[in-house]
């Protein structure tokens, strides 16, 4: 609930800040002799740009508020509720200060200009100068530096642990695949020899394809795509051993096209 209140306050103060900037710009343009038609013609495009900038800025601020709650040791002042209220409400404080400074002016235009200038000056002072300066001082405190080093070391340890876990899982997968290939090698040897005979044999093309498809389906049911690849590799190796002087045409890749995840390579 407190975070939601802070976000609402900051949204309102930012909207008020942009409204004051818009008022100052319009007043300056009017004093320079520009007509209302020209001002309205550029206000539409400017409003879109300002809206996008405010959206990005508010997103960054909201994320920053969420993160600051987790680093109170590193930011003992800027992470407090009192400072957050002061930071978020600084445009309103500037408006109030501008109102008090020009409370006895004769015209409403001058009063509104004073309020807008007070908002602009205070917001710039707090958001651009004071807040970064305080953050730098907080980072230089011994407790903040110690906690930051410990936090970074913990993050490095977490990343290292995750990397080691990924490497361990990858090693397990590779070891499992190697064991499967050894097991398949013994079980698939007869099928590989039959498939090699189909590749280099003189049976009718349709008969060879039907028998090869049956072998491929059996391999798919046994171990999926990896099993089919192992069987294909074994069959081609047998063909090369038996026909060292002949060019081997890989008919299997096209015969098996569409079985499970098997896809024949494109001609290109």
Q: Is 203 left (phi over 0), alpha (psi -120 to 50) or beta?
A: beta
Which pLDDT value is given to residue 174?
Answer: 79
Q: What is the mean pLDDT of residues 171-183?
A: 77
Which pLDDT value is given to residue 159?
Answer: 92
- Give tens-digit pLDDT for 187-211: 888 888 888 888 887 777 788 888 8
Spatial separation of the C-alpha atoms in residues 138 and 80, rounded to whole Å: 13
164 confidence band (pLDDT: 50, 70, 90): very high
Residue 230 has pLDDT above 70, yes or no: yes
Q: What is the mean pLDDT of residues 218-245?
A: 83
Residue 154 has pLDDT above 80, yes or no: yes
Which pLDDT value is given to residue 262?
Answer: 82
DSSP structure class, residue 125:
I
Spatial separation of the C-alpha atoms in residues 185 and 175, rounded to whole Å: 15
Spatial separation of the C-alpha atoms in residues 40 and 49, rounded to whole Å: 15
Distances (CA, A) of 178 to 181, 191, 236, 250: 5, 19, 19, 25
Residue 228 has pLDDT above 70, yes or no: yes
Q: Which residue has the higher pLDDT, 61 or 240?
A: 240
Which pLDDT value is given to residue 61?
Answer: 55
Domain boundaries, the chain: 2-140, 176-255
Q: By C-alpha distance, which of 208, 225, 216 is closest to 192? A: 216
Residue 268 has pLDDT above 50, yes or no: no
Which pLDDT value is given to residue 158?
Answer: 93
Which pLDDT value is given to residue 198?
Answer: 85
- Give tens-digit pLDDT for 107-138: 777 788 888 888 888 888 888 888 888 888 88
Residue 161 has pLDDT above 90, yes or no: yes
For the chain, what percent of residues have pLDDT higher than 70? Answer: 79
CA dihedral 253, 259, 265, 267 (to 10 degrees): 80
For the chain, what percent of residues have pLDDT higher than 90? Answer: 5
- Give tens-digit pLDDT for 11-70: 788 888 888 877 777 777 777 666 655 555 555 555 555 555 555 455 545 544 544 444
Burial 245-256 (b: 16+ CB within 10 A, else e): eeebeebbeebb
- φ, ψ of residue 70 in degrees (nearest 5): -90, -5
Residue 229 has pLDDT above 60, yes or no: yes
Residue by residue, DSSP assigns 187-212 as HHHHHHHHHHHHHHS-S-HHHHHHHH
77 confidence band (pLDDT: 50, 70, 90): confident
């Amino acid at each position: 609930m407190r975070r939601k209140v802070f976000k609402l306050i900051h949204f309102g103060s930012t909207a008020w800040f942009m409204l004051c900037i818009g008022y100052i710009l319009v007043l300056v343009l009017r004093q320079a002799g520009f007509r209302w038609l020209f001002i309205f013609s550029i206000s539409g495009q400017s409003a879109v740009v300002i809206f996008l900038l405010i959206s990005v800025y508010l997103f960054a601020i909201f994320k920053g508020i969420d993160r600051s709650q987790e680093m109170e040791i590193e930011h003992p002042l800027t992470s407090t509720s009192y400072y957050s209220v002061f930071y978020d409400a600084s445009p309103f404080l500037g408006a109030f200060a501008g109102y008090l400074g020009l409370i006895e002016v004769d015209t409403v235009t001058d009063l509104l200009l004073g309020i807008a200038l007070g908002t602009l000056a205070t917001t710039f002072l707090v958001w651009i100068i004071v807040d970064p300066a305080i953050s730098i001082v907080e980072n230089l405190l011994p407790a903040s530096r110690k906690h930051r080093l410990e936090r970074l070391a913990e993050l490095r340890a977490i990343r290292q642990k995750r990397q080691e876990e990924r490497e361990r899982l990858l090693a397990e997968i590779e070891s499992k695949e190697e064991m499967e290939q050894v097991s398949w090698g013994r079980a698939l040897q007869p099928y590989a020899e039959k498939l090699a005979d189909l590749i280099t044999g003189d049976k009718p093309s349709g008969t060879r394809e039907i028998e090869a498809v049956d072998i491929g389906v059996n391999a798919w049911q046994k171990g999926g795509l990896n099993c089919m690849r192992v069987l294909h590799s074994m069959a081609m190796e047998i063909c090369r051993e038996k026909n060292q002087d002949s060019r081997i045409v890989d008919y299997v890749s096209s015969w098996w096209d569409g079985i499970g995840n098997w896809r024949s390579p494109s001609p290109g």
